Structure 1
């Protein structure tokens, strides 16, 4: 770590620190944006898939409800517009199913289940609608219109044979006539005249054919004209002649005409027939068709027993038979419609649970996805906060490490300089040779200064010791003192040799450094760098300093031959 730190200058360290802090900042910002994109993507996916599925499921349920409403309206009102509304809503429903199938795989599987069921429901409804069209959407169409036209024609003809009131009026007329003949009272003559007038009005207001009306009116006129002489004769006390006369013949002719155009209770029977028909159409009760058949048999019997012409009997019977046939076709068609309606309801009931489950599933998945997205967003927010705190801590730690790498050597150098100032023993500052760091260069320079100072001090001390030893040798008066002085000189010489050997090692090291730097400069095609030049300069100055120390020693003159021989240092090793 120290070697790596020494290869960086202070500015590079500070720049590296800022770069690392910026990288951490960008990493935090990048993670924040990644988290934001992730959460945004989750919400987009939530809207694109689950919200879409929920909306389509709700829309499909609404459309299905609209289909059923239009279906019920058609079954109640039997109008073509409601059938068209069913088809329109079904088309919208199938379009929404296509959109739902494109959302995701689960939706496609749900649509694969719904589509055949809805197709079956649509086919069932079309069958029901076609059956109703065949039966008749209103009273004038289909089978219903066919038998209704027959019964209306039958009812219209029945009015021609409904002469019960005329026949009763004729009988009332004959009664008043008999009372006049028996009692010879004027008031009975007035009643006859009044009854003739009422019969004339009833004939005019009847539905009898025009020829029959004309014949009846002519006979009533003849009756009134022939009755007046008979009434005057009776009131004058004449003979009643048994109540016979021209008026009696006219009355007989009127009676014959009425009998020839009379089917007793035909109109009432036809009204009763229509009543049971309406009851069946209204309630759909199966007990009414047998009643219709029974009433029709009674009408046939009435027609057969009447005195009307055979052609009229055939016409009335034919209309009645056509009506009855059409009515029972309608009964059968209504039964088929009921069966088709049950099939349609069954198809709709199979669709409804799937629609409900699809909507419930969409709501459940929507809620679950919202919860998952919220939890993921909370987790991402916590992680983002954690990443920011971690980046802050790492940035602070890195800043502390870089600051420490700068401040600690400076503090050590400050202590060394203080020691140098006051002469205290001074250790070396930790430094890496060849480093590019300015603090490391200062440490190397300071170490060199301390080394030179130590060399100078050691050389100076040895010089003092040598000078003292030579003085002692020169002042020695005895052999022992002389030998002791020589021993001291030899010790000083050995110390000098050790110092010279150390200097020799330093010189060789500096020479090796110069050679290595020179070789690196020669191999570097870009030329000499500032650091290489600085390193060569420092080595040269170091060599110069060491040589200066050695040169100062060699320049000191010897006192005499004896002292020179006595103090000559051993050879360098």
Structure 2
């Protein structure tokens, strides 16, 4: 182990781990196969148990359907029995083919044979019960019922004797007793009673012998057939029970075997699982212990030398050169590392010697370089100061040239703008002068039209005043008419009163005053008509008075508005006169401004020419400043190159 290489040690540790892993994998696969086999066997026994329980349940369902059929005599329950038999046969066939059913094969075969026999007996039973009659109107029971009704009808129609009726009732009693108890002795009693009925019938000469005898013969034959069918049904039912009892124990044994085997195999599966878990855990612990021991031995044999060599390297890096290097005699990677550290130690000693020699040589070179750098630094300072002053001067000249050029440019632009503005102003002034002349002419025309409007307003006021006087006279006339109408109404009322008095006096005068009464009545009628006419005239006069007052008020309002319009027109006329004077003053000022604008235009042309000359001089000065700046930059570059070359020597 001491001379074993690191790679070999790692391979050894990996081999131990791989071996343990293979052992664990083998154990895992073996246990997995064992568990799968146990699970498969357990599943087979569970299936066997399920089929055996299904067979038991199916046969129980078959027996329940059989009991329901016998009790309720419903064909649906018979079909249920047949379906249950079919399902039980299918379960038997499944058990026959099951791989774990060899131990119960005899019982399975017995159940299969028993189900076949049971199905045949049950079919015979259903046939017999159908022949006997599933209800009172079917089969032999239905035939018996029809015969009974026919016999009772015949006895009633023929007015049979009391002895015949009593004998017939006894026959029916024996019939009911058999149907209730199923004992054949009641058939014997019915046969005896039938013979008694025949003897009673023979002793009654008044009864229709042939007809009653034929009906009763039909009844007794039907009773015999019904009894025979019922007895055969009882026998078939007993045979059916015997058949089931023959294979029922086999069904029980099959169910018990399936349940027991399922429990047994489940317990075996649990035990196997526990053993597998224990084996895997023990083997895993053993593998971990072995791996840990091997890893500890390999790690101790590897980490110890590495730590010792590391300590030596730390001491060498700290400056100690007298330390001994261990494990140089090993014939593996650790020995090679120790030998490399020994070589590194010798190299450090030689490097320290060469470093000291190089330090002595470097001190002399440093002194020479110091003196050279001092000379170059002094020249660099002086040259840099001179170049800085040149550069500053060039920058100032260049800046002044740029400012002059910019000022000349701005002066030219502003001069051009002023000249353009002056030209445009001249054009606008001419336009304003023309517009002012047109405004003056328009103002004069407006003044004339306003004077005309003022005259029309005054004439309208005069006309409305005349109309107002006419309306006032009309109002006075309407008032006079109203006074006259009132007077007429008073006269009519007085006349009416006088006519009433005359009528009263004529009535007092009797026959002598009758003619006077007629005249008084006519006068009264005329007075009434006059009153009504004057009332209508009064209403019309009042309407005329109302309209007259409305017209008078409207004319008064119109007069006020026209007077206000006249005042407004006068104000407009005065304002138009003032505007006309102001327009003429504006036209005079515009003509003066047009003359001054021509002078400004000529002056701006001269300024533009001077500005262009100044801009040319600024351009020349800026170009010269750029050339001087370029030469100064070249001189600075060459100086830097020279100093750099000196410093590199």
**TM-score, structure 2 as length reference:** 0.46
Shift of 1:383: 0.2
Looking at structure 1, the residues matched to 249 and 101 of structure 2 have their Cα atoms a distance apart, in angstroms, of 16
Q: Residue 138 of structure 2 corresponds to which residue in structure 1? A: 141
Shift of 1:264: 3.6
Do the aligned partners of residues 93 and 37 (structure 1) sit closer, same or farther apart at CA in structure 2, a change above 3 Å counting? same
Please list the CA deviations of residues 115-151 of structure 1 after superposition, one character each: whole Å capped at 9, or x if unmatched: 1111111111111111111221112222222222112
- Structure that is richer in helix per residue: 2
Shift of 1:78: 1.8
Please list the CA deviations of residues 446-466 of structure 1 after superposition, one character each: whole Å capped at 9, or x if unmatched: xxxxxxxxxxxxxxxxxxxxx
Given the alignment, which residue of 408, 417, 438 partners 2:333?
438
Q: Residue 60 of structure 1 corresponds to which residue in structure 2? A: 55
Given the alignment, which residue of 39, 43, 47 partners 1:43?
39
Shift of 1:90: 1.2
Q: Residue 280 of structure 2 corresponds to which residue in structure 1? A: 384
Given the alignment, which residue of 366, 384, 399 partners 2:262?
366
Matches within 5 A, 1:181-220: none
Shift of 1:19: 4.7
Matches within 5 A, 1:326-337: 326-337=222-233
Q: Residue 86 of structure 2 corresponds to which residue in structure 1? A: 91
Given the alignment, which residue of 290, 300, 313 partners 1:394?
290
Q: Residue 286 of structure 1 corresponds to which residue in structure 2? A: 184
Shift of 1:15: 4.0
Conserved 8 A contact 1:31-1:384: yes
Looking at structure 1, the residues matched to 338 and 327 of structure 2 have their Cα atoms a distance apart, in angstroms, of 12
Do the aligned partners of residues 440 and 376 (structure 1) sit closer, same or farther apart at CA in structure 2, a change above 3 Å counting? farther
Do the aligned partners of residues 390 and 141 (structure 1) sit closer, same or farther apart at CA in structure 2, a change above 3 Å counting? same
Question: 2:69 matched to 1:71?
Answer: no
Shift of 1:395: 1.1
Q: Residue 159 of structure 1 corresponds to which residue in structure 2? A: 156
Conserved 8 A contact 1:63-1:89: yes
Shift of 1:104: 2.2
Looking at structure 1, the residues matched to 176 and 215 of structure 2 have their Cα atoms a distance apart, in angstroms, of 18
Gaps of 5+ in 1: 163-261, 415-420, 446-573
Given the alignment, which residue of 226, 230, 239 partners 1:343?
239
Looking at structure 1, the residues matched to 187 and 335 of structure 2 have their Cα atoms a distance apart, in angstroms, of 121
Do the aligned partners of residues 136 and 427 (structure 1) sit closer, same or farther apart at CA in structure 2, a change above 3 Å counting? closer
Shift of 1:405: 5.6
Please list the CA deviations of residues 179-223 of structure 1 after superposition, one character each: whole Å capped at 9, or x if unmatched: xxxxxxxxxxxxxxxxxxxxxxxxxxxxxxxxxxxxxxxxxxxxx
Do the aligned partners of residues 443 and 98 (structure 1) sit closer, same or farther apart at CA in structure 2, a change above 3 Å counting? farther
Of 76-85 and 106-115, more deviation after overlay is shown by 106-115
SS in structure 1 opposite 2:108? helix
Matches within 5 A, 1:454-533: none
Q: Which has the higher contact order (CA 8 A, sep 6+)?
A: 1
SS in structure 1 opposite 2:193? helix
Q: Residue 119 of structure 1 corresponds to which residue in structure 2? A: 116
Please list the CA deviations of residues 304-361 of structure 1 after superposition, one character each: whole Å capped at 9, or x if unmatched: 111236xx31121122122212222222222222222221101111222111111111
Looking at structure 2, the residues matched to 102 and 409 of structure 1 have their Cα atoms a distance apart, in angstroms, of 73
Given the alignment, which residue of 268, 274, 282 partners 2:172?
274
Shift of 1:37: 5.9
Looking at structure 2, the residues matched to 78 and 314 of structure 1 have their Cα atoms a distance apart, in angstroms, of 38
Please list the CA deviations of residues 364-419 of structure 1 after superposition, one character each: whole Å capped at 9, or x if unmatched: 111111111111011001001011111112212332443466579999999xxxxx
Shift of 1:32: 4.1
Looking at structure 2, the residues matched to 376 and 266 of structure 1 have their Cα atoms a distance apart, in angstroms, of 88
Question: 2:215 matched to 1:295?
Answer: no
Looking at structure 1, the residues matched to 217 and 199 of structure 2 have their Cα atoms a distance apart, in angstroms, of 13
Conserved 8 A contact 1:161-1:266: no
Shift of 1:441: 6.9
Conserved 8 A contact 1:409-1:439: yes
Shift of 1:85: 1.0
Conserved 8 A contact 1:263-1:308: no
Looking at structure 2, the residues matched to 52 and 329 of structure 1 have their Cα atoms a distance apart, in angstroms, of 51
Looking at structure 2, the residues matched to 440 and 116 of structure 1 have their Cα atoms a distance apart, in angstroms, of 90
Of 347-356 and 381-390, more deviation after overlay is shown by 347-356
Conserved 8 A contact 1:263-1:302: no
Looking at structure 1, the residues matched to 220 and 239 of structure 2 have their Cα atoms a distance apart, in angstroms, of 29
Looking at structure 2, the residues matched to 81 and 313 of structure 1 have their Cα atoms a distance apart, in angstroms, of 46
Conserved 8 A contact 1:264-1:306: no
Please list the CA deviations of residues 403-443 of structure 1 after superposition, one character each: whole Å capped at 9, or x if unmatched: 466579999999xxxxxx999xx9997x8xxx8x4357789
Q: Residue 608 of structure 2 corresponds to which residue in structure 1? A: none
Do the aligned partners of residues 71 and 422 (structure 1) sit closer, same or farther apart at CA in structure 2, a change above 3 Å counting? closer
Of 294-303 and 139-148, more deviation after overlay is shown by 139-148
Question: 2:20 matched to 1:24?
Answer: yes
Looking at structure 2, the residues matched to 53 and 378 of structure 1 have their Cα atoms a distance apart, in angstroms, of 25
